[in-house]
Amino acid sequence: MSGGERPYTLVAELTYRCPLRCVYCSNPLDYARQGEELDTATWIRVLGEAEDLGVVQLNLTGGEPLVRDDLEAIVAEARRLDLYTNLITSGVPLRRERLARLRALGLDNVQISIQDTEAGPSDRIAGRRSFDRKLVVAGWVKELGFPLTLNTVLHRENLDHVEAVIALAERLGADRLELANAQYLGWALPNRAALLPSRAQLARAREVAAAARQRLRGQMEVLFVTPDYYTDLPKACMDGWGRRFIVLSPSGLALPCHAAHTLPGLRFDSVRDRPLADIWRDSAGFGAFRGEDWMPEPCRSCERRSIDFGGCRCQAYHLTGNAAVTDPTCQYAPDHALIEAARREAEEPQPASLIYRSARESERWGGMGVERRSLPPISK
Amino acid sequence: MGATGSAGHVISAETRFRLAAKTRLRFDRKSSRYMLLYPERGLLLNPTAADVLQRCDGERTVGSIVAELARQYGHDVPKVEREVLDFLQTMADRGLVQATE
């Protein structure tokens, strides 16, 4: 199948640089070894190409997008193209004047990450002091009239604080609260033992979130995203490979998801070399897992194949070494025992030692060749 | 007749709605339809839904929107009213339109 569908969303990863060192960062482990960042002119060109293809949503993310001093130029162009533009930020490097400028240029929404409900545990996960600053910045977002999304990544250490997270979001006047459990890819995978919650912990938090969603209906949207490890049926990762999303890496690779370039043997093209429309329609990388032709059993004959598209290719690869197998989080997957083993482990007390995202760590992962080989053993 | 709206509001013919701050209405060239965009999501609107949302300007009442659309479509007021109230109820529950005081 070629790219018959249109992309709706461009996820623009403007940079992998970030002041935070979050232990579940979804950037690739070898982010420090990726190429040079795109320049302003190329970003501007690509926004136009994306809009031509049908893109209506733009997520400006990273890393920390605010470290790019051309963010204003990018936002202005997005507005000119009538894209709905969401800034996804740690909030840390933001100044009030800059935020006001972005508002005037037409930025639509600001999403700030909050790691926990108090400075101590929040800063521990982020790997630096940042919590107090985030609250100040969230206040400016509302004062300047932006809609505010708060995003809290959930895991073993903060799942029991979900009620307090919701209270904090209410206090800050958030319009949307994403309670998104960590997914075990990127930096979260080597930190999995410390982060993966127990089943009971997850169930309690889900109940709290469901009650809040009901209570706050029409006022604050409350989203609860279950970790794939506990869903039993895989999610429709990115709404299907090459169906709705284009992720643009900082160096210009056009990708079906933010980790696709960690899969070996796939060729992804750069917007430096080819127009985005050509890449979307017929690049080898976008074609690799589009549609159903690539599917193995049990996906191929499964009635859910057009619902979940076989799940997450990156999860398949990083757990089994083969990107073309059924996502192991699926209860029907031949490799589902890997997930069951991880869940059993999560029922036991776990060491709380964490690997922080850093350029030095990243060089280490990248330097060891295939990412998977350098990971701690998955099963047992 | 009213229905329960967001945050305890009762939707009636006198209610005025405006689009929530987080939303933006945009015409989509690919589908030749309007879209309501908001963080991470979007709704592709059918023509009636677009007609209603374009009139949610904080000035018009639900009653006047109904009257206007009934005239435009050549339909009975009660039929249009039922559809418009149901639609706005759903949109209010999702926080996409807000009743003004």
Q: Which of residues 2-61 of A touch B (CB under 8 A)?
A: 6, 8, 54, 56-57, 59
Predicted confidence (pLDDT) at residue A90 exceeds the cutoff of 50: yes
CB-CB contact of A274 with A217 (8 Å): no
Predicted confidence (pLDDT) at residue A371 exceeds the cutoff of 80: no
Q: What pLDDT sits at residue A213? A: 97
pLDDT tens per residue, range A144-156: 999 999 999 999 9
Chain-centre distance for alpha carbon A7: 17
Q: What six digits make up the tokens of A43?
A: 């970003």
Task: Give the nearest partner residue to B6 out of A56, A108, A217, using CB atoms.
Answer: A217
Q: pTM of the predicted model, to two decimals?
A: 0.93
- The predicted model gives A144-170 an average pLDDT of 97
Which of B4, B23, B34, B40 is best to mutate for the A interface (most A CBs within 10 A)? B40
Confidence category of residue B11, pLDDT binned at 50, 70, 90: confident
Predicted confidence (pLDDT) at residue B6 exceeds the cutoff of 80: no
The nearest CA of chain B is from the CA of A84 a distance in Å of: 7
The nearest CA of chain B is from the CA of A54 a distance in Å of: 7
**More reliable by pLDDT, B44 or A30:** B44
Confidence category of residue A35, pLDDT binned at 50, 70, 90: confident
Q: What angle do CA A199, A205, A209 make, to 5 degrees?
A: 140
Q: What DSSP letter does each residue of A88-119 carry, written as one string?
A: EE-STT--HHHHHHHHHHT--EEEEE---SSH
Q: At what angle do helices B77-93 and B47-54 cross, to 10 degrees?
A: 80
Predicted confidence (pLDDT) at residue B66 exceeds the cutoff of 80: yes
Predicted confidence (pLDDT) at residue A14 exceeds the cutoff of 70: yes
B24: left (phi over 0), alpha (psi -120 to 50) or beta: beta
pLDDT tens per residue, range A295-336: 999 999 999 999 999 999 999 999 999 999 999 999 999 999
C-alpha distances in Å from residue A165, one per residue of A130, A219, A271, B44: 16, 16, 39, 32
Q: Chain B partners of A59 at a C-beta cutoff of 8 Å?
A: 40
Confidence category of residue A366, pLDDT binned at 50, 70, 90: low
ipTM of the complex: 0.88
Confidence category of residue A350, pLDDT binned at 50, 70, 90: confident
Q: What pLDDT sits at residue A367? A: 46
Confidence category of residue B5, pLDDT binned at 50, 70, 90: very low
Confidence category of residue A33, pLDDT binned at 50, 70, 90: confident
Confidence category of residue A80, pLDDT binned at 50, 70, 90: very high
- The predicted model gives A273-293 an average pLDDT of 96
Confidence category of residue A378, pLDDT binned at 50, 70, 90: very low
Q: Order across the sheet with B97-99: list the strands.
A: B57-61, B16-19, B97-99
Contact B38 A84 (CB under 8 A): yes
From CA B29, how far away is CA A54, in angstroms rounded?
Answer: 8
Average per-residue pLDDT for chain B: 90
Q: A109 in contact with B at a CB cutoff of 8 Å?
A: yes
Q: Chain B partners of A79 at a C-beta cutoff of 8 Å?
A: none
pLDDT tens per residue, range A105-134: 999 999 999 999 999 999 999 999 999 999
Average per-residue pLDDT for chain A: 93
DSSP state of A146: -
- How much of chain A exceeds pLDDT 70, in percent? 95
From CA A127, how far away is CA A23, in angstroms rounded?
Answer: 8
- The predicted model gives A341-368 an average pLDDT of 84
CB-CB contact of B18 with B95 (8 Å): no
Confidence category of residue B20, pLDDT binned at 50, 70, 90: very high
| Omega before residue A7 within 30° of 0, cis | no
Among all residues of chain A, which has the CA nearest to that of B21? A147
The residue length of chain A stands at: 380
From CA A94, how far away is CA A71, in angstroms rounded?
Answer: 12
Predicted confidence (pLDDT) at residue B3 exceeds the cutoff of 90: no
- The predicted model gives A19-47 an average pLDDT of 93
Predicted confidence (pLDDT) at residue A376 exceeds the cutoff of 50: no
Q: Chain A partners of B42 at a C-beta cutoff of 8 Å?
A: 8, 56-57, 84
Helix (H, G, I), strand (E, B) or coil at A296: coil
Predicted confidence (pLDDT) at residue A160 exceeds the cutoff of 70: yes
- The predicted model gives B28-53 an average pLDDT of 95
- How much of chain A exceeds pLDDT 90, in percent? 89
Q: Chain A partners of B5 at a C-beta cutoff of 8 Å?
A: 218
